[in-house]
Amino acid sequence: MDILNFENIFEGKLSRNEMIEPKDWMPENYRKHLIRQISQHAHSEIVGMLPEGNWISRAPSLRAKLVLMAKVQDEGGHGLYLYTAAESLGTSRDEMLDALHTGKAKYSSIFNYPTLSWADIGTIGWLVDGAAIMNQVMLQRSSYGPYSRAMIRICKEESFHQRQGYEIMTKMAFGTPEQKEMAQDALNRWWYPTLMMFGPPDVESPNSDNAIKWRIKRETNDQLRQRFVNQTVEQAEYLNLTIPDKNLKWNEAKKGYDFSEPNWAEFKNVISGNGPCNKERLDKRRQAHQDGEWVRAAATAYAKKQNESYQAA
Ligand code: BYC
């Protein structure tokens, strides 16, 4: 079969909303696009464990500690599903981790901001997981089978994470004046970085056209950002907290809120490696990888031994 026939089969599957599976023929750029996005997504989950893990030992109750530990552990699991999905495209775990550790691969900008108080843990669950779900719900219908299936499980867990965050915010917003002040301060600091999570405006997003054409993404960065704002305003109102945007206003014509854009110069700076915590996050990841060397060596030696004994039997 020549390449044109392979392309026709690929396009046909996309047009019928069928999944592309690892052994199917796919254009090289589709494969590369997926490896880039899925591996960056995996890195985000793993790096995302750091700012939250930072609060496990300082959680205000045993219950809060248990819930946070379960959440951080879930993020590790999400990273593993996603690395495995990316491996099915022909890259290796070592290659992906090397790209992270050398600063070649990106991970979500949001995790380069510090978690200064317990209210930040609530805000991460409420806003950051809320934004992640907004993006990931559409990724459940992504055209690449292993990515789409990983997303179905991840979304279930993310919705528990979002509720964990909103519960903390509810307790703090309706708690003492000091707690309410901490909740408002956290919202003030995390609002714009959360809006940046959806990526640059559509007109400046070089990858969006292909992502939509290939049904990797079903909606654009701006569409998702708008939906997130529409959904979150009411949640902030319920908490009696103020979103730090004087231009936030309902627009009846578009049936959505007008809002201020984040500072895109700050975004570019953060994704170029110069955010407040980039260095700290990468140093921690590199150290963890180095510290885990003996575990990898032991697991490999054990697998080799098992293999030898099967062959001998
Ligand atoms: N941060 O053409 P664009 C989570 C990069 S965390 C850093 O619009 P695309 C969680 C982009 O990679 C959420 N970089 O790109 C975990 C590209 O650079 P390269 C993780 C960003 O791919 C723990 C360039 O800017 N979720 O789940 O169409 C606790 C131009 O952008 C960002 C995902 O990764 C950013 N915010 O769209 C709690 C979801 N935005 O690669 C929560 C899957 C853009 O060309 N990923 N860039 O060098 C996606 O949906 C898309 O990859 C993005 C970007 C929306 C992130």
Q: State pLDDT tens for residues 132-155.
A: 999 999 999 999 999 999 999 999
pLDDT at 4 over 90: no
Whole-number average pLDDT of the chain: 96
Q: Is there an atom of ligand 1 within 6 Å of 198 CB?
A: yes
> From residue 310, how far is each of 297, 298, 301, 304, 305 by CA, in Å?
20, 18, 14, 10, 9
Name the token pair of 191: 């609002």
Task: For ligand 1, say whether the CB of 207 is within 6 Å of any of its atoms.
Answer: yes
Would the CB of 142 count as within 6 Å of ligand 1?
no
The residue whose CA is least distant from atom 40 of ligand 1 is 199
Contact (Cβ atoms closer than 8 angstroms) between residue 31 and residue 90: yes
- Compute the distance between CA of residue 244 and CA of residue 247 in angstroms, rounded to an integer: 9
Output DSSP code: residue 109. Answer: G
Phi and psi, residue 154, nearest 5°:
-60, -40
pLDDT in tens, 201-215: 999 999 999 999 999
pLDDT, residue 1, reads: 63
| For range 185-191, the mean pLDDT | 98
For position 294, what pLDDT does the model report?
96
Share of the chain above pLDDT 70, in %: 100
39-59 in b/e burial notation, b at 16+ Cβ within 10 A?
A: bbbbbbbbbbbbbbbebeeeb
In ligand 1, the atom with minimum distance to the C-alpha of 75 is: 23
- pLDDT for the residue 221: 97
Residue 312: pLDDT over 90: no
Going from the Cα of 278 to the center of ligand 1, the distance in angstroms, rounded, reads 15
Closest CA to 236 of 173, 177, 193, 189: 173
Q: For ligand 1, what atom is nearest to the CA of residue 52?
A: 29
The residue to mutate among 32, 39, 44, having the most atoms of ligand 1 within 8 angstroms of its beta carbon, is: 44
pLDDT of residue 147: 97
Ligand 1 centre to CA of 60 (Å) is 32
86 lines ligand 1 (CB under 6 A): no
3-state secondary structure labels for all residues of 167-195: HHHHHHHCCCHHHHHHHHHHHHHHHHHHH
CB-CB contact of 131 with 162 (8 Å): no
pTM of the model as a whole: 0.95
> Is 307 buried (19+), middle (13-18) or exposed (0-12) by CB count in 10 A?
exposed
Two structure tokens written together for 147: 């990515």
Strands (E), the chain: 249-251, 256-258
User: pLDDT tens digit string along 232-272?
Assistant: 999 999 999 999 999 999 999 999 999 999 999 999 999 99
The two tokens of residue 125 are 């669950």
